[in-house]
Amino acid sequence: MAKSASNRIITTPSSYAKEHYLYVQEVGTLQSLEPHISRRQNLNSYLFFIVLEGSGYVSYEGNRHTLTVGDCVWLDCTRPYSHESSAKDPWSLMWVHFYGKEAANFYDSFLKHSYSFLFHPQNAIAFTDILQHLYQIHSSKSSLMELYANRYITDLITLCFTENILENQESFSIPEKLKQVHEYLEEHYDEKINLEDLSSRFFISKFHLSREYKKIYGTTIGNDLTSKRISHAKSMLRFSNDSIENIALSCGFQDAGYFIKVFKKAENMTPLEYRKKW
């Protein structure tokens, strides 16, 4: 007797998709008819699935979690994992296995934001719609199938990020002092600023400030300040006739030479080249 009824499409990406896109390895639906454990590891793949009906379990990172209707899971399949339907309330799932050169970077960023691989979205339909689109385009095998797949997988990943933010927003808020520091950098980017000064101004340990700022905003204070300065410099390069020297000083750089060096590192061109191109 069959343990499950599934509809799946297994696909092999083109060499171009492997090089440039996020691509589907398999996508489908599962209706479990009796308990069955699926165990895998060391797969170059990422698995996303959502529970449509019933309940079950997923084991990952050494822990076993109970899943119910609406729960979503995003797993790195290089790591050991297993999932199984409950015996009393067999589940129904929609899933996609996907991969691509940038897939690991997306997942690493997801984890660095302290988001959970297991979450319950407010808008489950948004996820099932994407999975249905992925299934349909691989059924039809249109000439743009891989391009559309890249788009929908990117949308899926974006939803994983945004829904984790929504799920945690009641318990998560940006501390007021960090908001003040962030706003201060935007307003005083043209001034000399260092971590010690910020620590004294906002009465916060520089070590705590440095750690928490990166945790909240995803970048260091120094890199954020440089980005703000570069952005303002780009605006002046495009919409003013000021000299490179004046722009450098106006945006908080100590001299034109240092400004040119930092700008070229950020934009892969000199300020003058940027001005001419834009």
| Domains of the chain, earliest start first | 4-168 (2.60.120.280), 176-277 (1.10.10.60)
Per residue in 156-187, pLDDT (tens digit) is 999 999 888 755 554 446 788 899 999 999 99
37 in helix, strand or coil? strand
Alpha-helical segments (H) within the chain: 15-20, 103-112, 124-140, 145-168, 176-187, 195-202, 206-217, 221-239, 244-250, 256-267, 271-277
Per residue in 20-55, pLDDT (tens digit) is 999 999 999 999 877 778 899 999 999 999 999 999
CA distances from 126 to 15, 39, 130, 166, 175 (A): 30, 28, 7, 14, 31
For residues 262 and 255, give the distance between their C-alpha atoms in angstroms, rounded to a whole number.
11
Its pTM stands at: 0.72
For the chain, percent of residues with pLDDT exceeding 90: 79
Amino acid at 35: P
- State the chain's mean pLDDT as an integer: 92
Q: Is the pLDDT of residue 151 over 60?
A: yes
| Neighbour order of strands in the sheet with 46-53 | 4-10, 22-32, 92-100, 46-53, 72-76, 118-119
Give one DSSP letter per residue of 57-95, joined into a string.
Answer: EEEETTEEEEE-TT-EEEEETTS-EEEEE-SSS--EEEE
Contact 90, 33 (CB under 8 A): yes
| Neighbour order of strands in the sheet with 63-67 | 37-40, 81-85, 56-60, 63-67
Residue 173 pLDDT: 60
Residue 142 pLDDT: 87
Closest CA to 258 of 266, 267, 248: 248
Burial of 19 per CB tally in 10 Å (0-12, 13-18, 19+): exposed
pLDDT band of residue 3 (cuts 50, 70, 90) is low
Residue 170 pLDDT: 47
Amino acid at 78: T
Mean pLDDT, residues 3-7 taken together: 72
Please state which of the ranges 81-95, 165-179, 218-232, 257-271 shows the lowest mean pLDDT: 165-179
Name residue 26's beta-bridge partners.
10, 97
Q: Is the pLDDT of residue 202 over 80?
A: yes
